[in-house]
């Protein structure tokens, strides 16, 4: 495959970035999208040019580190992570536009790398439960209904990649927060901190500069884990409950 790539280049956080055009040839359709970028970077290295910075870690779709805006869609045209996107999803001779996540809360560090620490701080505000650790408790001492366990597990598959923010026209992180709040809210262990969790997480979300949710649904369409929109409803309900409880 021969491709034309339009890629955002930015030297560092302070610099002005711009789109640059590159040509790559000899790309196999079995390559992953990141392997295609690796090929381009090897060529850039050989020419003595600065390679394109992009994030990746596990490259098997479970860590949430990679994430690129490919042709105007977060993680590209398939419902998966950028590392699990393959070149067979593109056609020979195609022009592909590659941009970093665009969010004021995710500043661009270099080229296609953004700082997603804002998500870490949202988690620090309640995306956990406070329990004494020690030896593993007896599994049956706290019973969890099957439906609750299933839903908690499904939404716990959120890997915090930030595609929801990248896709959202408002730059909102509601799907991410909703996933965490629903995951813990479905389980008995999550009840004690349920009210304070939603208030503190949403408070941090707003302070980070993310936008408000308008229930458009571009987030769930972009989510590589298929987190459904009803987690946002759950978050709204939990916030309303916290409001009634005076928090």
Partner 1 sequence: MTLVATPTLVHGSRSTRTTIALKILMAVSGIIFIAFVLLHMYGNLKAFAGHDAYNEYAEHLRTIGEPMLPYSGLLWILRVVLLGSLVVHVYAAATLWVRAKQARTTKYVMKKHTGAIFASRLMRWGGVTILVFLVWHLLNFTIGKVNVQGGATNDPYNLLVDSFEVWWLTLIYLVAMAMLGAHLHHGTWSALQTLGLTGTERSRTLAKRFAFTLAVIIAGGFSLVPIFVLVGVID
* Interface residues toward partner 1, by CB under 8 A: 6, 8, 13, 19, 69, 71-73, 97, 99, 102-105, 107-109, 115, 117-118, 121, 124-125, 167, 169-172, 198-200, 202-222, 228-230, 232-240, 242-243, 247
Q: Which residue, 56 or 204, is less far from partner 1 as judged by CB?
A: 204
DSSP state of 49: P
Nearest distance from C-beta of residue 151 to partner 1, angstroms: 9
- Helix, strand, or coil here: 150? helix
Nearest distance from C-beta of residue 6 to partner 1, angstroms: 7
Q: Which residue, 27 or 239, is less far from partner 1 as judged by CB?
A: 239
Q: Which residue, 18 or 136, is less far from partner 1 as judged by CB?
A: 18
Burial level of 179, CB count in 10 A (0-12/13-18/19+)? buried
- The radius of gyration of the chain from alpha carbons, rounded to an integer in Å, stands at 20
Nearest distance from C-beta of residue 56 to partner 1, angstroms: 20
Q: How many CA atoms lie within 13 A of 81 on its CB side?
A: 23
Q: Which residue, 77 or 188, is less far from partner 1 as judged by CB?
A: 77
d(CA 221, CA 167): 9
Concatenating the DSSP letter of every residue in 178-192 gives HHHHHHHHTSGGGST
d(CA 10, CA 42): 19
Q: Which residue, 24 or 221, is less far from partner 1 as judged by CB?
A: 221
Nearest distance from C-beta of residue 46 to partner 1, angstroms: 28
Nearest distance from C-beta of residue 84 to partner 1, angstroms: 17
Tell me if 32 sits within 8 A of 83, measured CB to CB: yes
């Amino acid at each position: 495959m021969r491709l034309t790539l339009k890629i955002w280049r930015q030297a560092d956080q302070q610099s002005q970035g711009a789109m640059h055009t590159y040509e790559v040839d000899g790309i196999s359709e079995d390559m992953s999208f990141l392997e295609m970028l690796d090929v381009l970077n090897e060529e850039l290295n050989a020419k003595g040019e600065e390679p394109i910075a992009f994030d990746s870690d596990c490259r098997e779709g479970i860590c949430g580190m990679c994430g690129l805006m490919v042709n105007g869609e977060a993680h590209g045209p398939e419902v998966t992570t950028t590392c699990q996107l393959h070149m067979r999803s593109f056609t020979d001779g195609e022009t592909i536009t590659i941009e970093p996540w665009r969010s004021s809360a995710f500043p661009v560090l270099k080229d296609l790398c953004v700082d997603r620490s804002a998500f870490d701080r949202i988690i620090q505000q309640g995306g956990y439960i406070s329990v004494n650790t020690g030896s593993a408790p007896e599994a049956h001492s706290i019973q969890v209904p099957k439906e609750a366990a299933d839903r908690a597990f499904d939404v716990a598959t959120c890997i915090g990649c930030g595609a929801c923010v990248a896709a959202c026209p408002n730059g909102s992180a509601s799907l991410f927060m909703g996933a965490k709040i629903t995951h813990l809210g479905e389980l008995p262990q999550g009840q004690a901190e349920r009210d304070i969790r939603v208030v503190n997480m949403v408070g941090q979300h707003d302070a980070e500069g993310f936008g408000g949710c308008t229930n458009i649904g571009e987030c769930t369409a972009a989510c590589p884990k298929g987190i459904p929109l009803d987690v946002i409803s759950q978050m709204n309900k939990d916030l309303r409950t916290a409001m009634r409880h005076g928090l």
